[in-house]
Chains A and B, each alone.
Chain A
Amino acid sequence: DSGVTQTPKHLITATGQRVTLRCSPRSGDLSVYWYQQSLDQGLQFLIQYYNGEERAKGNILERFSAQQFPDLHSELNLSSLELGDSALYFCASSVHRGSYEQYFGPGTRLTVT
């Protein structure tokens, strides 16, 4: 158990809908990272937050957004969902601002039908 929690574990929704994925980092970790894992693209970095502020952006679509709250939990919002958004979404956390030794949560499996 990495100490990172993610909810929900599974999510099934229809195209065009909007969903919110939630992540709680390890106790004491200030950085939260979101990744998307699909069969054809592998594990892709989406976005990083550090202590409530956005630090880095990767391959995140404009339809996706995230935020980190004062209690350090983070939410990833996915809107106008398309079939191609079906994937595993992982949250990771680390103590430092840089991405040294990130600890991953169990993931949320999103299925868009």
Chain B
Amino acid sequence: GESVGLHLPTLSVQEGDNSIINCAYSNSASDYFIWYKQESGKGPQFIIDIRSNMDKRQGQRVTVLLNKTVKHLSLQIAATQPGDSAVYFCASQAGTALIFGKGTTLSVSS
């Protein structure tokens, strides 16, 4: 069935490093992809999105890359800060529903 998954459940980086969080999806019909950040005790927070007709999109300190050939999505965070520590989810849209991956916990140490 349709699924969205992340390669690694946890990622630990040093403050100032660049972080890369990966995600694989299975539905070729997905036309829209989103990254969410969830801090402890809070709801998911929208970070950045990308449509299937794009390969790359940049935001403030974040970049999302989409490789439709291998159905892979990544989130790059530049100069990672302690405030970036959270669980990161990728999600794909097919029709109206959003399908979320399980999440990668990013830990940033000073």
B43 adjacent to A56 (CB under 8 Å) = no
Contact among A43, A56, A100 for B44, CB-based, below 8 A = A43
- Taking residues whose C-beta sits less than 8 angstroms from the other chain, chain B's interface range is 20 to 34
Q: List chain A residues, Cβ under 8 A from B36.
A: 104
B49 adjacent to A45 (CB under 8 Å) = no
Complex Cα distance, B75 from A20, in Å, reads 36
Q: List chain B residues, Cβ under 8 A from A98.
A: 93, 96
A104 adjacent to B45 (CB under 8 Å) = yes
A42-B102, A43-B89 known; A102+B97 contact, CB < 8 A: no
B43 adjacent to A48 (CB under 8 Å) = no
Q: List chain B residues, Cβ under 8 A from A43.
A: 44, 89, 91, 100, 103
Q: Shortest Cβ distance from B8 into chain A, in angstroms?
A: 15
Which residue numbers of B lie inside 8 Å of A, CB to CB?
32, 34, 36, 41-46, 49, 89, 91, 93, 95-103
Which residue numbers of A lie inside 8 Å of B, CB to CB?
2, 4, 33, 35, 42-45, 48, 55-56, 58, 90, 92, 97-107
The 5 closest A-B pairs by CB, nearest first: A104-B43, A56-B96, A43-B100, A42-B102, A104-B44
